[in-house]
């Protein structure tokens, strides 16, 4: 059974969803690729409580890495990309081309971008740390202003990017 709960955050409400095996979704209010919620039930469990606590610490500047059981659902390629996202250090950014190189598919920049866009666990699997090769703030499931907010929070908004938006 997938349990879900809504939490408040500095970037707006987030919907968390988990089953007994781990965290399955973190969704923004205006998510680009919303999950199918037909099997979700309101409630809470230890995983959702830990996720809320750890996100609170992250937004307060007291957490740089998450320690949660994760259970994202995707294709083998998507899972490979998402696993690599987890290796991008706090405060760092990489390009989509670099991400494609890291998974051994240097010609797969567009496919990596598509998988990145379908990441069901943003923030925890930090897809916001992937930027354009020229430092541009490219698409993000929560919107570019949220991406800029997260990068600013982590101290990694690329040089020359003052940010176009403020939250």
Task: Look at the pTM and tell me if it is higher than 0.85.
Answer: yes
Which residues in the chain come in under a pLDDT of 50?
159, 163-167
SS (H, E, C) 1-15: CEEEEEECCCCCCEE
Return the pLDDT at 162.
Answer: 52
CATH code linked to domain 76-153: 1.10.10.10
Task: Please list the active-site residues.
Answer: 127
Instruction: Please list the residue range(s) of the chain that carry CATH number 3.30.160.
Output: 2-59
The domain made up of 2-59 is a member of CATH 1.25.40: no
- Tell how far CA 19 is from the center of its chain: 18
List Cβ neighbours of 33 (8 Å cut-off, separation of 6 or more): 117, 118, 141
CB contact burial 111-136 (16+ within 10 A = b; e otherwise)? bbbebbebbbbbbbbbbbbbbeeeee
- φ and ψ at residue 27, rounded to 5 degrees: -120, 140
Q: Tell me the per-residue pLDDT of 113-155, one tens digit each, with 9 for 90 and over.
A: 999 999 999 999 999 999 988 888 887 888 889 999 999 999 9
């Amino acid at each position: 059974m997938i349990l879900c709960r809504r939490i408040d955050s500095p970037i707006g409400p987030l919907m968390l969803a988990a089953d007994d095996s781990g965290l399955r979704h973190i969704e923004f209010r205006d998510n680009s690729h919303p999950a199918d919620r037909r099997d979700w039930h309101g409630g809470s469990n230890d995983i959702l409580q830990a996720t809320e606590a750890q996100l609170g610490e992250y937004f307060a500047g007291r957490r740089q890495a998450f320690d949660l059981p994760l259970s994202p659902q995707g294709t083998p390629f998507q899972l490979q990309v998402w696993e690599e996202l987890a290796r991008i250090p706090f405060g760092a950014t990489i390009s989509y081309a670099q991400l494609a190189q890291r998974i051994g598919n240097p010609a797969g920049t567009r496919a990596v971008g598509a998988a990145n866009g379908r990441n069901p666990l943003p923030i925890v699997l930090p897809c916001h740390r992937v930027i354009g090769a020229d430092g541009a703030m490219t698409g993000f499931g929560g919107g570019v202003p949220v991406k800029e907010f997260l990068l600013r929070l982590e101290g990694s908004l690329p040089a020359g990017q003052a940010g176009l938006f403020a939250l």
